[in-house]
Amino acid sequence: MLTLLLLAAQPAVEPEPEIVVTAARTEQDKAETAASVVVVDEERIQRLGQPLLDGVLRSTPSAAVATSGPPGSLTEVRIRGAEANHTLLLIDGIRANDPAAGNTPRFELLNADIASRLEVVRGPQSALWGSEAIGGVIAINGVAEATPGEQLVAEAGSNGFRRGAVSGGVRARNVSLAGAIGWQGAAGIDSFDGSGDRDGYRNLSARLRGIWKTAPGLELGLAAFSLNGRSEYDGTDLLTFRRADTLDSTRNRLAAGRVWARFDSLSPGLDGVVGTSLLASSNRNLLAADELNRTRGRRWTADAQLQYRFATGSIAHTAVVALDHDGERFEARDILFGGASNQNRKRSHSAVTAEWRSQLRSAVLDIAIRRDRFSRFKDATTLRASALVGVGRGWSLAASYGEGIAQPTFFDLNGFFPGNFVGNPSLKPESSRGVETSLRYRRKQVDAALTLFRQRLHDEIVDVFDPATFQSTTANRALVSRRSGVEAELGLKLGEQLSVSAHYSYLRASEPSGDLQLKEARRPRHSGSIALDGASGRLTYGASIAFTGARADTDFDQFPARPVRLAAYWLAGARVGYRLRPGLELFTRGSNLIDANYQDAFGYRTEGRAIYAGVRLSGV
C-alpha cells in the first residue's frame, strides 16, 4: 500500500533512456535490447558506500559472489552458475581478465573509488566479445566525458579499516580529462579459527581517461587503469598439506592502457573506431617474507570496428564488422619446487565479428556471428540471435539464443609441475549454449522483468588423475554440465528521494558424475537482494540486503576430500550522509549489520558487524 501511495504521489513521466554499452557492439537504449542487463550508476555506487565492487555485484541477479575470507581475499563471481573463469571483465573497454591467473577476473582488486559505472550482461556473449563470456560480461566505468571538479573521501572504522580517495576532471574546449585514485586497507581478522594472526589487505588503484576532439567527426582517446593489491591469508602447511594458521600472502598487480581514434564523418551513417591496448599483470605468493612463486602475463590487443546505420522504409538497420587480434605472453617462476615449474609461453589469436540489427518501431531483431582463430588450440565459431517485441502499455517480450567459449589456460595446455601435472596441448575451448526468454514491463516509475534461462556447458576442461602413474593432466569432459533458472527483477524510481531495486534468482547448476548430475559447488539455488538509495534535503542514504542460499562445497583437508554444505545467510549494509554545507558531507556506514556468521568458501572465516565513519569533500 505504501508503494502504491508513493507512486501516486509522483508525476506520471516516462523514464529517461538508459544507455547500455556491452549488450551489443554499439550503444543502445536498455529498453531496446533483448539482453538481460543491469546498470548501476555512480550515485548508487557512492551511496551504498561499498569499498570493493564485489559488494555491489551481490545486488545483481544470478551473481554468486564467493570471497575466501575477509575483504580483499580471493573473490570469485559466478553468473548463472557458470565457472569462476567464465565471466569477461572489461574496464573502460579493455579486456581485464588476468592472463597470469588462468584468465580469471581479479574481483578482489576492484576498488569502488575508481568505478563510475557498472554494467552486467547475463548469458553467453562470445559472439560479441569472444572468450570467457560464457556466464556474462561485466563492464566498469564507461565515462564518456569528464565532469569538472574534484572530490576527496576519507573513511576509517572497524578491523583497522582505512580508506582515502581523490577524483576529478577538467574540460577545456575540445579536451577533457578525468581520473581517480583510491587507497584502502584493513588489519582484518584471522580467517582460520579466530585465534591466530590477522589477515588484512591493502589496495591502491587508479584510472585515467582523456578525450581530444581534434576535428569535427574525429576523436582521439586514452584510457588507463592500475590495480594493486596485497592480501594476507591462511594457506596450507607444507609438512601436513592441511590448512593452517600460516603467514601466507599474495601481491597482485594489473595495469593496462588503451588508445583509440573514433571517426563518424566518412559518409552519412558510417562511423568506426580503431584502437590498441596493452595489459600487464604480476602475481607473487609469499610465506612470511620468502617468495614461493610468481606468474607474469602480458596481452597486446589491436582492434577495429565499422558500423553503418541506414533505413529501408520504416525499418532502421545497423550493420557492424569488427576485427580483433591479440598476443599473450606468460611466465611462471618458482622457488618452492626449485624452478621445476618454470616456463615461458606465448600464443596469439584473431577474430572477426559481424552483427546485424533491425528495428521496426518497438520490435528489434539482432544477429551476431564471430569466428575466433587460435594459434595453440582449435578454432571456434559462436552465434547470438535475439529479438524484442513490444506488445503495448509498457509490456514487451524478449528471447535470445547465445553461445560462449572459454580458452584453455596456459597451465591447462602446458602443465605446472613436470612429472606430476602434465598439460594437454590437444585441448579445445570450453563451449556453452544458452537460451532465455523474458516478460518485461517498463513504464513511468516501474521497471520489471521475469526471465527463464537454460544453458549447457560442453567440452568442460577438467583435471584427470591416473592412479597408476600418479600423474594429473587436463581433458575436455565428454558429458554436459547443466544450468537453468528463473530471475525476477523489480525497479522503482520515486524521484530523487528513493530508487529501489529488488531481485530473486532460482538456479539449478549440476555437473555429470557417472550417470548422475551432482550439484556444483558455491552456487546457491536461491538468492536475492533489495537495494535502495536516495537523497532528501541534506541527507543522502543507501542500503542493501542480500540473501545467499545454502550451497555445496568441498572439504579438502580430508582424504579423500568430502562434500560439505555451506549454510544460507543474509548480508546487510547501509550508509547515511549529512551535508553540513555545500561541498562538505559527513557519513557513517555499516557492513554485515545483522552480524551473520557465514562462509563463502569452506574453512574461511569472514568479518562480523562493522561500523565506519568518514568525510566527503566535493568541488574543492
**What does DSSP say about strands 175-189 and 161-172: parallel, antiparallel, or unpaired?**
antiparallel
Taking the chain (620 residues) in runs of 10, the rounded mean pLDDT of each run is 37 64 91 94 94 95 95 96 96 95 95 94 97 96 64 96 94 90 97 92 96 92 96 88 90 97 84 97 93 95 96 96 97 84 93 97 96 93 98 96 96 80 91 98 94 97 84 92 98 94 97 87 97 97 98 87 94 98 96 97 96 91
- The CA distances from residue 307 to 321, 356, 363, in Å, are 7, 10, 20
> What is the reported pLDDT for 141?
81
Please tell me the distance from the alpha carbon of residue 445 to that of residue 8, in angstroms, as a whole number.
Answer: 10
Please tell me the distance from the alpha carbon of residue 317 to that of residue 310, in angstroms, as a whole number.
Answer: 5
Strand ranges, E, within 494-568: 499-513, 516-519, 526-536, 539-548, 551-555, 562-566
Q: Which residues contact 241 (CB under 8 A, 6 or more apart)?
A: none
Instruction: Copy the grid coordinates of residue 127.
Output: 559472439
Please tell me the distance from the alpha carbon of residue 22 to that of residue 29, in angstroms, as a whole number.
Answer: 11
Residue for cell digits 582449435? 378
- The CA distances from residue 581 to 505, 538, 584, 588, 619, in Å, are 42, 8, 5, 17, 12
Assess contact for 48 and 55: CB atoms under 8 A: yes
pTM score? 0.95
Strand order in 461-466's β-sheet? 421-422, 471-476, 461-466
Radius of gyration of the chain (CA): 24
Residue closest to 597 by CA, chosen among 562, 574, 570, 564: 570
Q: How many Cβ atoms are within 10 Å of 241's Cβ, its own excluded?
A: 11
Assess contact for 455 and 484: CB atoms under 8 A: yes
Please tell me the distance from the alpha carbon of residue 5 to that of residue 351, in angstroms, as a whole number.
Answer: 53
Query: DSSP string of 144-178?
Result: -SPPSEEEEEEEEEGGGEEEEEEEEEEEETTEEEE
**What does DSSP say about strands 516-519 and 539-548: parallel, antiparallel, or unpaired?**
unpaired
Residue for cell digits 618458482? 334
Coil, strand, or helix at residue 313?
coil
Residue closest to 525 by CA, chosen among 90, 117, 81: 81
What residue ranges define each of the domains in the chain, with the CATH number in brackets? 2-618 (2.40.170.20)
Per the rule left: phi > 0, alpha: psi between -120 and 50, beta: everything else, 398 is beta
Q: At 120, which helix (H) or strand (E)?
A: strand 118-122
DSSP, res 6: H
Helix, strand and coil in the chain, % to nearest 5: 5, 60, 30
Where are the alpha helices (H) located in 300-438, listed in sequence order? 410-414
Per the rule left: phi > 0, alpha: psi between -120 and 50, beta: everything else, 594 is alpha
Please tell me the distance from the alpha carbon of residue 573 to that of residue 579, in angstroms, as a whole number.
Answer: 21
